């Protein structure tokens, strides 16, 4: 019973972060399952089965709060489902240990870009509203779906920074659309695992516990993402990507710093930089609000003066 409660709490925390930042449910939950000895394929299958419920509730919640671009959902979600099904089959038959450092390096680079871009320059507004092309979304979805199924998580870490970097869609709609389209990915990955593995290694009680925690958190996260300014959200997402993937690389066989003081120092330094970036973004956002208020007051002043004179 204690382990089920722990899983439910992990599911709640993971979905709260995932729904607010567009990533981390799979990474967080898979890490716990692997830590208690679950094999990678069964861990990923368990997570994706629970995600069918959590992503459905999350998608509906984001839709109710106006965080979803349905064109993006379909254009990235359908290819993502194809990639996830293939990835589930591959993971069921092969080890992904070699691929993890490569994927983490790519994601780390994306994370650094997002962190620097949003912290120092804020949200790019000159592209907002421009359409995202199928030739960009389809390969992105296919790649992200494959990574998600083979790594037990990755749909958000791949899809969210790529869409944020495009500057063509608001951060809250990036997160809402990624979370909603993940429903298709979760179904496809689950079908792939069930086809390749059957029910081998999958504990229904664990699936249910993760599902309950995630369903409770989903509406809260969808509301929260509307309240966080885009600039701050971008810094938070970027830092999360950097920290997560730096940890994976430090613990890879090629580096081998797992559990060493050096690992703690590196991750601690990243955490300090991340906190500083968020603080900088908060300060910059407040300055933007003050500037907008002053500008609005100056523009309204002549109108008020003309009425007084009349």
pLDDT tops 60 at residue 199: yes
Distances (CA, A) of 291 to 176, 199, 226, 286: 29, 58, 22, 9
pLDDT tops 60 at residue 126: no
For residues 210 and 22, the model is more confident at 210
Mapping DSSP onto H, E and C, the string for 212-258 reads: HHHHHHHHHHHHHHHHCCHHHHHHHHHHHHHHHHHHHHHCCCCCCCC
DSSP label of 69: -
Q: Exposed/middle/buried for 295, CB within 10 Å: 0-12, 13-18, 19+?
A: exposed
**Residue 289: predicted pLDDT:** 86
Q: How far apart are CA 177 and CA 182, in angstroms?
A: 8
Residues 286-303: tens digit of each pLDDT: 998 888 788 877 877 665
Residues 70-106: tens digit of each pLDDT: 988 999 999 999 999 998 888 777 665 665 676 667 6
Provide the pLDDT confidence category of residue 282 given band limits of 50, 70 and 90.
very high
Q: At what angle do helices 230-250 and 99-121 cross, to 10 degrees?
A: 150
Range of the domain at 201: 2-309
DSSP label of 67: -
Give the helix ranges, DSSP H, for the chain: 2-21, 25-35, 40-64, 70-93, 99-121, 134-151, 155-166, 171-197, 204-227, 230-250, 261-309
For residues 188 and 124, the model is more confident at 188
Residues 237-272: tens digit of each pLDDT: 778 778 877 887 888 777 778 788 999 999 999 999
Q: Name 161's Cβ contacts closer than 8 Å, sequence gap at least 6.
A: 107, 110, 111, 113, 114, 237, 238, 241
pLDDT tops 60 at residue 307: no
Report the C-alpha dihedral over residues 125, 144, 106, 217, rounded to 10 degrees.
70
- Rounded to a whole number, what is the distance in angstroms from the first to the last CA of the chain? 76
**Residue 173: predicted pLDDT:** 85
**Residue 270: predicted pLDDT:** 95
Of 269, 274, 292, 268, which Cα lies nearest the Cα of 232? 274
Q: Count how many domains the chain has.
A: 1
Residues 21-79: tens digit of each pLDDT: 666 677 667 766 665 666 666 777 777 788 888 888 888 888 888 888 898 899 999 99
**Residue 208: predicted pLDDT:** 82
Percent of the chain with pLDDT over 70: 75
């Amino acid at each position: 019973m204690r382990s089920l409660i722990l899983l439910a709490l992990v599911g709640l925390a993971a979905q709260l972060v995932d729904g607010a930042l567009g990533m981390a449910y799979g990474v967080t939950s898979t890490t716990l399952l692997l830590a208690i000895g679950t094999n990678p394929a069964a861990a990923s299958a368990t997570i994706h089965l629970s995600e069918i419920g959590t992503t459905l509730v999350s998608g509906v919640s984001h839709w109710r709060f106006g965080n979803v671009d349905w064109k993006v959902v379909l254009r990235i979600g359908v290819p993502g489902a194809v990639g996830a099904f293939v990835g589930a089959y591959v993971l069921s038959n092969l080890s992904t240990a070699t691929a993890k450092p490569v994927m983490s390096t790519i994601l780390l680079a994306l994370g650094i870009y997002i962190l620097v871009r949003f912290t120092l320059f804020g949200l790019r507004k000159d592209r907002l509203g421009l359409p995202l092309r199928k030739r960009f979304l389809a390969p992105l979805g296919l790649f992200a779906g494959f990574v998600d199924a083979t790594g037990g998580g990755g749909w958000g870490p791949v899809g969210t920074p790529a869409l944020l970097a495009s500057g063509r869609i608001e951060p809250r709609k990036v997160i809402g659309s990624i979370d909603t389209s993940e429903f298709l990915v979760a179904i496809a990955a689950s079908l792939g695992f069930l086809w390749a593995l059957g029910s081998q290694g999958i504990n229904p009680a664990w699936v249910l516990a993760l599902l309950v925690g995630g369903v409770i958190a989903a509406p809260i996260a969808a509301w929260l993402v509307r309240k966080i300014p885009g600039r701050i959200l971008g810094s938070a997402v970027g830092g999360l990507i950097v920290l997560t993937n730096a940890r994976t690389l430090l613990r890879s066989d090629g580096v081998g710093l797992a559990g060493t003081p050096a690992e703690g120092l590196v991750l601690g330094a990243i955490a300090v930089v991340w906190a500083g970036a968020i603080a900088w973004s908060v300060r910059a956002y407040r300055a933007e609000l003050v500037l907008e208020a002053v500008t609005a007051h100056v523009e309204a002043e002549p109108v008020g003066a003309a009425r007084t004179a009349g």
